[in-house]
Amino acid sequence: MGFSLFLHLLLCFIPLIMAAMAGATALDMFEDGAEELSFGYYARTCPNMEAIVHKKIQDWIARDPSLGPAIIRLHFHDCAVRGCDASILLNHARSERKAKESESLKGFNVIDDIKAEIEKKCPKTVSCADILTAAAREATVKIGGPFWEVPYGRKDGRVSLVSEAAFVPMGHENMTYLIEFFQSKGLSLLDLVVLSGAHTIGRSTCSSIQDRLYNFKGTKKPDPSIEAHYLNFLKRKCRWASEYVELDGSTPKKFDSVYYNNLQRKMGLLSTDQLLNSDSRTSPIVSALSAQPMLFYQQFSVSMTNLGNVQVLTGDEGEIRTKCSSLNHH
């Protein structure tokens, strides 16, 4: 076997090996309730549910393309706190939605619009948690990502606490925190690196990287791990913390694996992006995804499925809200 072929095979199998190593954790979490989800859950009670979500997402993103990555991010923020229970959608004085960490989230009006249409066709039947999960899939496809089948049957949570939003990764954590956070949700090292690849598209507020540009770890200097030309570009782009900057500095409008090539060129926007390439626990996966573009495309659907199954509520563990922003009144 030639060395190049050996390297090719190695790059293909590294992520699969990593996934197998972390698989037990993910399986344990899956058995916490996700096994009660099913692909035909709404086949009789709301057969047009997916068609409604599809049409609405198509229409909204056609009007505002930034909503594509925004919906995926909203889904992640939901699943990252108390699991995928639509707790991020609740809108009261001390809910997650009111937290500082949630300030730049958007797409709530899209989910409300989808919910209102579904309530007309199938009242009190489809949960907001299922709608947000389906919307994240449709948004991924609309922006050029892969399709995957979504199992349904999630119920909506009744608790949403502003203080719990502080646990959501915001781009400045160390790698050990990220790995342990993902593991606590039943997600693997592979899921961490692949879901970070959602940063192939979309924007970040410049406030998220001010310390990297001007005062890295209190040094009053930039983060030395940022490539020089990219650093100059970011300083021009982010003169004000209120500005926005693309997460992918090379192909910001395209869903692709170039995000991982950027990391290898020291062009990760957030410090957590760049750490994926410099940390020995995650760098082999970055290398594999960079070398095999289709690997990222295929694995993204698997990792998004895993994300959508995190700590779901089923049966009588939750409710089906009639309005996603407020609890039902009993």
**Quick check: is 77 catalytic?**
yes
What is the rounded radius of gyration, in angstroms, for the C-alpha atoms of the chain? 20
CA atoms within 13 A on the CB side of 130: 31
Query: Among 114, 88, 115, 82, which residue's Cα sits nearest to residue 103?
Result: 88
Helices (H), 189-227: 189-196, 210-214
Q: Residues within the annotated binding site for heme b?
A: 199
Q: Residues within the annotated binding site?
A: 78, 81, 83, 85, 87, 96, 169, 199-200, 248, 251, 256
Active-site hit among 77, 172, 229, 329: 77
Is residue 89 within 8 A of residue 297, CB to CB? The reply is no
Which 3 state secondary structure label does DSSP give 19?
A: helix
Residues 6+ apart with CB under 8 A from 261: 250, 290
Q: Which residues of 223-239 are buried (b: 16+ CB within 10 A; e: fewer)?
A: beebbeebbeebeebbe
Which 3 state secondary structure label does DSSP give 323?
A: strand
Q: Residues within the annotated binding site for Ca(2+)?
A: 78, 81, 83, 85, 87, 96, 200, 248, 251, 256
Q: What is the distance, to the nearest Å, from the Cα of residue 167 to the centroid of all Cα atoms in its chain?
A: 15
Q: Residues within the annotated binding site for substrate?
A: 169
Q: Which residues are catalytic?
A: 77
